[in-house]
Structure 1
Amino acid sequence: MAKSQNTTRIQQRNRAIILDAALDVFSQNGFRGSTVDQIAKAAGLSKPNLLYYYPTKESIFKAVLSDLLDTWLDPLRAMDHDGEPIEEIQAYVARKIEMSRDFPRESRLFAHEIIQGAPRMLETLSTELKDLVDEKTLVIERWMNEGKLNRIHSRHLIFSIWSLTQHYADFEVQVRTLMGDEDPYDAAPAFLETLYHRLLTPTG
């Protein structure tokens, strides 16, 4: 029994090592530019050993994406329909900038896949993500109709949040080069909070 449990632990550990290495490789090169050999080398495993766990590059990528999608959608899911509108949207912005800081590889992998036409994510984009965005835009529209938010285009609001927060991860080399010794994440949260507070606060 102990031997079986030990084997399971080793398998779990190796799968985790493979997926972490794959995330590194895929986030740098995209799906098309990555190879099983690169992933095996990054994982410190032989190619046959890696293929024992995941028989194809596609199966590795799908496993990485499965973990990524929940991480990606959770910040928007957390927006409370019954909360204070400006606070809820600013909290969403804060969660997204934290994701760029803490999960830059995941952000870059997502960007690579979208740029390539999302062939392995299109179904999720057109169902799970679209349903979630539809739900939240209705909430934002309700808040606007109640006079709690300045009237703006709700979908473009969400797109702008994605653009302004994910930029820090997807273009990290450029951002850090231009910021010099200053950590971009020191001032980014306060800047974005001010920006969206001014945009969202009802006028008149």
Structure 2
Amino acid sequence: MESRLHKKAPKPRTRIQKKNTETILDAALEVFAQHGFRGATLDQIAKAAGLSKPNLLYYFPSKVAIHRALMDVLLKTWLDPLREMDANGDPVEEIVAYALRKLEMSREMPRESRLFANEIVQGAPNIYDKIEGELKDLVDEKARVISGWIAQSSIADIDPYHLIFSIWATTQHYADFDVQIRGILRPEEDTHFDTARVFLDQLYRRILTPLN
């Protein structure tokens, strides 16, 4: 029996393979964000990527495999701003900065936000293990940090979990309900994000500042 030590490592992907993989994932992001996981098809993704379906299946064996690859990348990107919350920083500034980073992601990455929202609305069939694992672990960790700040009277006494949930709701709304917001405000390009930034900065500072 061949020793594990002598098994050949998988060959590194070529430049063309990397490029095609990125092209497929970008095309899939557009299709999934528009149609959701259930409504999207491999034919739609292949067409958007400018590849034949057999060529697409060379890189990913199924629609599920494409979606999981996208969600793996997206979850890491989505969690990075929360990871940046520094337990040794100024509590109010750290939480407000997190909220504003999330708002900026809605501005810069609306398709990704809608993809994530679609997955959650459908019961998170492809990432529920990560919600119960990686996501829960990180939220628990940051909730403990926030609880510590509350215990030190550095911020107002507020439920740390619902604080985090409210930040998700008030920031991702600008991507997930983009059509509704634009229909009401009729902004010039993305100027409503600038006013939203001012509003959310004021909102969270007032919520977090301890009462004298």
Please, what TM-score do these two structures have when normalized by structure 2? 0.91
Deviations 1:71-127 (A, max 9, x none): 011010000000000000001011100110111111111100100111111110001
What residue number does 2:165 align with?
159
Q: Secondary structure at the match of 1:148?
A: coil
Residue 52 of structure 2 is aligned with which of 42, 46, 60?
A: 46
Q: Tell me, which stretches of 5 or more residues in structure 2 are unaligned?
A: 1-10
Distance in 2 (alpha carbons) for counterparts of 1:8 and 1:127: 33
How far the C-alpha of 1:200 sits from its partner, in A, is 0.4
Deviations 1:118-173 (A, max 9, x none): 11111100011101111111111110110110111111100000000000000111
What residue number does 2:85 align with?
79
Q: How does 1:169-180 map to 2 (within 5 A)?
A: 169-180=175-186
Q: Secondary structure at the match of 2:44?
A: helix
Q: How does 1:26-65 map to 2 (within 5 A)?
A: 26-65=32-71
What residue number does 1:188 align with?
196
How far the C-alpha of 1:29 sits from its partner, in A, is 1.2
What residue number does 1:104 align with?
110
Distance in 2 (alpha carbons) for counterparts of 1:131 and 1:12: 31
Structure 1: which amino acid aligns with 2:145?
V
Could you list the runs of 4 or more consecutive aligned residues of structure 1 that deviate by over 4 angstroms after TM superposition? none
Distance in 1 (alpha carbons) for counterparts of 2:167 and 2:72: 23
- Tell me, yes or no, if structure 1 residue 201 matches structure 2 residue 209: yes
Residue 148 of structure 1 is aligned with which of 154, 158, 175?
A: 154
How far the C-alpha of 1:10 sits from its partner, in A, is 1.2
Distance in 1 (alpha carbons) for counterparts of 2:208 and 2:143: 14
Residue 137 of structure 1 is aligned with which of 140, 143, 156?
A: 143
Structure 2: which amino acid aligns with 1:55?
P
How far the C-alpha of 1:181 sits from its partner, in A, is 2.9
Distance in 2 (alpha carbons) for counterparts of 1:168 and 1:94: 12
Structure 1: which amino acid aligns with 2:99?
V
State percent identity of aligned pairs.
60
Distance in 2 (alpha carbons) for counterparts of 1:179 and 1:61: 33
RMSD: 1.4
Structure 1: which amino acid aligns with 2:121?
I
172-181 or 82-91: which moved more? 172-181
Please, what TM-score do these two structures have when normalized by structure 1? 0.95
Deviations 1:8-42 (A, max 9, x none): 11111111100000000111111111000000111
Distance in 2 (alpha carbons) for counterparts of 1:158 and 1:12: 36
